[in-house]
Amino acid sequence: MSSPFVTLSPCVLTAVTGGRKTHVPQIDPALVQGIGELAKSVQSVGQGLIATKQQSEGQKMQMMQQLMQAKMGRR
């Protein structure tokens, strides 16, 4: 099966001075700022969740200790 592509000789390519150029639009600074603020908000929420979870775990441990002490006191 033959290839549909043709190999160009280096002599032909030496005269090539251009190429395909794609235009990349400038990102809106307000969009960049909004993304930054969103990232800060997400980080803040995550830190709040971690703090709440740690507090909840501490309360669970305290309750377990109190239950264990109450069981030991009944003996």
| 6 found inside a domain | no
Residue 70 placed within a domain: yes
Instruction: Enter the tokens of residue 13.
Output: 């390519």
Please check whether residue 14 lies inside any domain of the structure: no
Domain range for 60 is 37-75
Q: Which residues contact 29 (CB under 8 A, 6 or more apart)?
A: none
Q: How many domains does the chain have?
A: 1
Average pLDDT over residues 35-59: 94
Determine the Cα–Cα distance for residues 18 and 35; give it in Å rounded to an integer. Answer: 36
* Residue 24 lies inside a defined structural domain of this protein: no
Look at residue 63 and tell me if it is in a domain. Answer: yes
Q: Provide the whole-model pTM.
A: 0.47
- 8 pLDDT above the threshold of 90: no
Q: What is the pLDDT of residue 7?
A: 85
